[in-house]
């Protein structure tokens, strides 16, 4: 009998390993934050002596979800400006509100609210892009979640940084402060080719290689963005990123709704990661990433919610279902993006985009114990012909009961263990009451 910290026994374990194995009546065995075994429960009871043994019969265990693109603090702007196209939404509503409201307190309040939503929805890892990323990192550490915070660069002054030099200086200081943190990493986060001038993107290309950190950027979100850029620069945004040497497995290109076949082949050849944000793209009528073609070409495609201001939730299970439906609709092919593929996009492929697929994203021996339990007792969850199908097409985030990151429990049978949900909601309501 081997001693271990934790054993969770459930009806089935969805591993998302390379064979997409699903193990029935199985247990995940955890020690020192890592998965040490996944095996049938009767065998587990013979081989292991866990300090804590949780029985979750009628539950599915699966890897925690990876939200590969979001702006957590924008949860406070949920519902602020709806039913508008991207440019007036951004320039007439969101950016002016940010000019008035941005502060450490704003980011802390919005991010803490968003992280409560994330944990309750089974998300264990987020890739964030926003102002005051050091405050985002603090909130992430408080929550116990895994994540990547963006070293934001954008061509206008904000309450966080008055010019490009300060954006770089503060971002790089954050990178230094987080060095060695087991759960929180950094990405360079230039907002978009149209909002960050070329010389700053050149600098990012150099720094990202030196520091070995990914570059997380919005690219080709709308047709108008691309045509305006061609008018002003004489080149498509993606072609400029290629000129700068930014097309690589370290690039996390978000949205990508406007792509021709040459560009899709170039992205695949360079190993660029694409983050598909279907609900934000649909709500802003931005377009839709050609996910079916990207997958056929061999691209890594992950899923993101974008911020709650354009979604209006950050529920990755809901996003996953939308991603599947939309991919099939635009391809006019129901076989595009089958359920097991979609599950990978929301887990291991998100981890791959962040460069941490050796650590998280699937349930395999040696990986961090980042996993969730979902209750299948509800009538809408039965009967189960295929676990993957059920998870993608029929499971709501309210079915998530338990969440662990690096073996630490963040939600225990529906109760958050690290933060006071009611206090965080009260803070968000108080912020709204002072908003003008």
The residues binding Zn ion (CB under 5 A) are 306
- The DSSP 8-state label assigned to residue 136 in this structure reads H
Q: What's the closest the beta carbon of residue 281 comes to Zn ion, in angstroms?
A: 10
Task: Give the nearer residue to Zn ion in terms of CB position, either 264 or 284.
Answer: 284
Tell the smallest beta-carbon distance from residue 147 to Zn ion (Å).
15
Pick between residue 155 and residue 265 the one whose CB is nearest to Zn ion: 155
Closer to Zn ion by CB, 160 or 404: give it: 160
Select 305 or 401, whichever has its Cβ closest to Zn ion: 305
Gap between the Cα atoms of 35 and 40, Å rounded: 15
Q: In what order do the strands lie in the sheet with 251-255?
A: 65-70, 123-128, 146-153, 184-190, 215-219, 251-255, 273-276, 300-303
Q: How does strand 184-190 pair with strand 2-14?
A: unpaired
For the chain, the helix, strand and coil percentages under 3-state DSSP, each to the nearest 5: 45, 25, 30
3-state class (DSSP) for residue 307: coil
183 alpha-carbon distance from chain centroid = 14
Smallest distance from the beta carbon of 191 to Zn ion, in angstroms? 9
Beta strands in 248-326 (DSSP E): 251-255, 273-276, 300-303
Comparing CB distances to Zn ion, the nearer of 275 and 406 is: 275
Which of 279/306 has CB closer to Zn ion? 306
**By C-beta, is 37 or 306 nearer to Zn ion?**
306
Return d(Cα 295, Cα 328) in angstroms, integer. 12
Closer CB to Zn ion, 29 or 252, in the complex: 252
CB distance 258 to 237 below 8 Å: no
Nearest 5°: CA angle at 181, between 122 and 300? 55
Give the number of other Cβ atoms within 10 Å of residue 249's Cβ.
14
Q: Quote the least distance from Cβ 267 to Zn ion, whole Å.
A: 19
Which residue number has the CB closest to Zn ion? 306
- The residues, any chain, with a CB within 8 Å of residue 98's CB and separated by 6 or more, are 131, 158
The Cα–Cα gap between 126 and 216 comes to: 12
Does residue 409 contact residue 143 with C-beta atoms inside 8 Å? Answer: no
* Minimum gap (Å) between residue 359 Cβ and Zn ion: 24
| Minimum gap (Å) between residue 278 Cβ and Zn ion | 13
Rounded to the nearest whole angstrom, what is the least distance from the CB of residue 71 to Zn ion in the complex?
6
Cα separation, 80 vs 307, whole angstroms: 12
The minimum distance between CB 277 and Zn ion, in angstroms, equals 7
Minimum distance from CB of 306 to Zn ion (Å)? 4
Going by DSSP bridges, is the β-strand pair 251-255/415-416 parallel, antiparallel, or unpaired? unpaired
Beta carbon nearer to Zn ion, 98 or 306: 306
CA neighbours within 13 Å on the CB side: how many for 253?
Answer: 32
């Amino acid at each position: 009998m081997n001693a271990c910290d934790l054993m969770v026994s459930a009806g089935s374990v969805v591993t998302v390993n390379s064979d997409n194995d699903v193990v029935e009546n199985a247990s995940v065995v955890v020690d020192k934050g890592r998965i040490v075994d996944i095996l049938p429960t009767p065998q587990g009871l013979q081989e292991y002596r866990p300090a804590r043994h949780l029985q979750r019969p009628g539950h599915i265990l699966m890897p925690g979800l990876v939200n590969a693109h979001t702006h957590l603090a924008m949860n406070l702007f949920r519902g602020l400006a709806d039913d508008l196209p991207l440019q007036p939404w951004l320039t007439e509503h969101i950016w002016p509100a940010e000019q008035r409201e941005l502060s450490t307190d704003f980011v802390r309040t919005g991010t803490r609210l968003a992280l409560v939503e994330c944990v309750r929805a089974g998300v264990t890892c987020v890739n964030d892009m926003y102002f005051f990323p050091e405050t985002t990192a603090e909130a992430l550490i408080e929550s116990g979640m895994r994540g990547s915070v963006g070293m934001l660069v954008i061509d206008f002054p904000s309450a966080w940084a008055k010019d490009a030099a300060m954006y770089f200086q503060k971002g790089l200081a954050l990178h230094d402060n987080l060095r060695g943190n087991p759960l929180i990493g950094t990405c360079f986060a230039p907002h978009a080719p149209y909002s960050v001038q070329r010389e700053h993107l050149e600098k990012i290309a150099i720094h990202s290689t030196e520091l070995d950190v990914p570059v997380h950027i919005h690219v080709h979100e709308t047709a108008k963005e691309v045509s305006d850029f061609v008018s002003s620069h004489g080149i498509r945004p993606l072609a400029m990123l290629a000129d700068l040497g930014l097309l690589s497995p370290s690039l996390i290109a978000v949205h990508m709704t406007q792509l021709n076949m040459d560009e899709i082949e170039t992205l695949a050849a360079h190993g660029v990661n694409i983050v598909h944000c279907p609900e934000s793209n649909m709500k802003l009528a931005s377009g839709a990433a050609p996910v079916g073609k990207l997958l056929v070409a061999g691209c890594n495609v992950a899923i993101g919610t974008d911020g709650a201001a354009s979604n209006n939730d950050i529920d990755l299970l809901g996003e996953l279902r939308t991603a599947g439906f939309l991919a099939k609709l635009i391809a006019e092919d129901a076989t595009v993006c089958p359920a097991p593929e979609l599950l990978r996009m929301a887990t291991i492929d998100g981890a791959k985009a962040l460069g941490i697929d050796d650590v998280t994203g699937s349930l395999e021996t040696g990986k961090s114990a980042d996993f969730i339990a979902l209750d299948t007792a509800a009538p809408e969850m039965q009967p189960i012909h295929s676990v993957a199908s059920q998870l993608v097409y029929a499971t709501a985030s309210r079915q998530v009961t338990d969440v662990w990151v690096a073996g630490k429990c963040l939600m225990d049978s529906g109760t958050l263990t690290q933060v006071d949900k009611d206090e965080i909601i009260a803070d968000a309501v108080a912020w709204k009451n002072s908003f003008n």
